[in-house]
Amino acid sequence: ETGVTQSPTHLIKTRGQQVTLRCSSQSGHNTVSWYQQALGQGPQFIFQYYREEENGRGNFPPRFSGLQFPNYSSELNVNALELDDSALYLCASSTRRGEGETQYFGPGTRLLVL
């Protein structure tokens, strides 16, 4: 196991609702990245947080937002849920040493939007 934890493991919401997903990074890691993985596809980069600041964003609308806390844990918030937001949401933690640094993933949160 990587030491990266996510909660909840599963979630069911209805269209238009809001959801918050949580991630605790591995000890010693100060960077958290979030990914969305639709069924049958590879993960898509949503955004990355480093020292409580957003540090890069993928092609996702503003209703996807996040936070990072002083202990480096992180939240992903999605407003106005759409059916296409149904996916596995993965967070990954790492340090900022740069090249060669591996990201370690949590078990994911499976979100179903009805």
Partner 1 sequence: AQKITQTQPGMFVQEKEAVTLDCTYDTSDPSYGLFWYKQPSSGEMIFLIYQGSYDQQNATEGRYSLNFQKARKSANLVISASQLGDSAMYFCAMSLTDSWGKFQFGAGTQVVVTP
Which of residues 45, 60, 64, 69 is near partner 1 by CB under 8 A?
A: 45
Cβ count near 100 (within 10 Å)? 5
Q: What is the Cα–Cα distance from 83 to 81, expressed in whole angstroms?
A: 7
- Report if residue 106 touches partner 1, rule: CB under 8 A: yes
In terms of CB distance, is 2 or 65 closer to partner 1?
2
Per CB under 8 A, contacts with partner 1 among 46-65 are 48, 56, 58
Stretch that binds partner 1, among 15-23, 61-69, 74-82, 85-93 (CB under 8 A): 85-93
Whether the upstream peptide bond of residue 8 has omega within 30° of 0, thus cis, is yes
Using an 8 Å Cβ cutoff, are 113 and 85 in contact?
yes
- Report if residue 94 touches partner 1, rule: CB under 8 A: yes
Stretch that binds partner 1, among 12-20, 33-41, 60-68, 70-78 (CB under 8 A): 33-41
Using an 8 Å Cβ cutoff, are 37 and 88 in contact?
yes
Which of residues 17, 41, 77, 79 is near partner 1 by CB under 8 A?
A: 41
Question: Could you give the 3-state DSSP secondary structure of residue 28?
Answer: coil
